[in-house]
A and B are shown apart, each in its own frame.
Chain A
Amino acid sequence: MPLDTDPHTDDADLLAAYARGDAGAARLLTVRLTPRAFGQAVRMLGDAGEAEDVAQEAMMRLWRVAPDWRAGEARVTTWLYRVVSNLCTDRLRKRPRRSLPLDEVAEPEDPTPSVEARMQADARMAALRDALAALPERQRIAVTMRHFDGASNPEIAAALDVSTEAVESLTARGKRALAAALQGQVAALGLEEG
C-alpha cells in the first residue's frame, strides 16, 4: 500500500522512506508535522510570521537529519517539538526586553475597558513567553508539554528521557521559576486575586 494512503504509518517509517527518496513520504510528513510545528511556534512566539519561519526551519532540519535518523532512539514528533522550542527560545532571547508596566504603554485614544483588558492580556502573554524562554530547556519543555499539549507525565518522561518523578520535579521547578520571574509584575499584569 502506498504510504500516503495509510494514515497510520509511523512518522519514523515515513522519515525512513523519505531518506530513501520517497516523495510521497515527504508530502505526508509535511501535512502531518508542519501545522503542529507552526502551532507550537505561534503559541511560544505570539507572531505568526516568525512562527512560519521557525516551522520552516524546523522542518528543514528534519529533512536534513532524515538519512542519519536512528529508528527507535526518539520519536519524530518529540524531536521536532524540541527543535521548535529551542528555535523559538533563541528568537525570544534575542528580542529586546519589553517594558511591561502598563503605565509606560501609550494610552489608546479611547481607553475603553475592553481595549485596556486586551492590552493587559497581551502584556501578560508577552511576559509569560519571555519567562518561558528564560527557563532551562527541560523545565521549559516539561511545562509547555503539560500545559499546552496536555501531555501526561509518562509522555513527558519519554520525551525528555527522564523518570516520571523527575518530570514532576522539572514541572514544579519550572513553574516556581515562572512565578519568580513574573512576581514583580503581578499588579501590572492583572494577576492579583480578587
Chain B
Amino acid sequence: MTNSPPPRKDDDWIDSVLDDLARADLPDASDDLMARVMGDAQAMLPPPGGRVTQAPWWRQVVDGIGGWAAVGGLAAAAATGFVVGLGGLETVGVTTPWSVSYETYYDSPGTLDAFGWDMEEG
C-alpha cells in the first residue's frame, strides 16, 4: 500500500495552475488581425456628425403630444373627467354599486327582515 500525499489546499494548487496559465507566453496580435479590425471599423464608421437613430414608437408618441409635461396634463385631465363623470351618474338616478358602502347596505331599512336577523345571529 502506498501512502499518497495529502492533497493541497484548494487555493494553493488552483492558484498555482491559474498562475501557470497567466504566465504562458502570448503571441502578438498579427498585422492581418489589425487590418481586419481596422477594415471593420472603417466599414461601420458612422457618417460625419453621427448616425441619426430612430426613436422608439412610444417616444415618438410622447414627442408628438408635446413632451412629458403634456402627457402629465393629459393624464390629469382624463382623471378629472372620469371623476366628474362618476359624480354625474347620481343626478340621472344611477346608483353605482361601489358608491354604497358595506355599512350603508347593511343598515338600510328593508335590507334585513326578522328572518334575516335570525339567520344572521342564530
Contacts and interface: CB of A to CB of B under 8 A. Distances in A.
B14 A52 contact: no
A133 to B, nearest CB: 13
A192 B34 contact: no
A188 interface: no
Interface in A44-81: 48, 52, 55-56, 59-60, 63-64, 66-68
Interface string B22-49: 1010111110111011101110111111
Interface residues of B, number: 41
Interface in B6-65: 6-8, 10-11, 13-22, 24, 26-30, 32-34, 36-38, 40-42, 44-51, 53
Contacts of A66: 46
A158 interface: no
Nearest to B30: A52
B72 interface: no
Contacts of A39: 26, 29
A60 B40 contact: yes
Contacts of B30: 52
Given A38-B33, A55-B33, A67 B50 contact: yes
A191 interface: yes
Interface string A23-39: 10011011100110011
B108 interface: no
Contacts of B17: 124, 128, 178, 182, 191
Interface stretch (A3-11, A13-21, A101-109, A159-167): A13-21
The listed residue with most B CB atoms (<10 A of its CB), out of A31, A64, A121, A179, is A179
Contacts of A186: 7, 13
B5 interface: yes
A147 B29 contact: no
A48 to B, nearest CB: 5
B18 A29 contact: no
A30 B37 contact: yes
Q: Which of A63, A125, A129, A194 has the most CB of B within 10 A?
A: A63
Contacts of B48: 20-21
B111 interface: no
Interface of A: 18-21, 23, 26-27, 29-31, 34-35, 38-39, 42-43, 48, 52, 55-56, 59-60, 63-64, 66-68, 121, 124-125, 128-129, 143, 147-148, 175-176, 178-179, 182, 186, 191-194
8 contacts: A21-B48, A29-B41, A39-B29, A52-B29, A56-B37, A59-B37, A178-B14, A192-B5
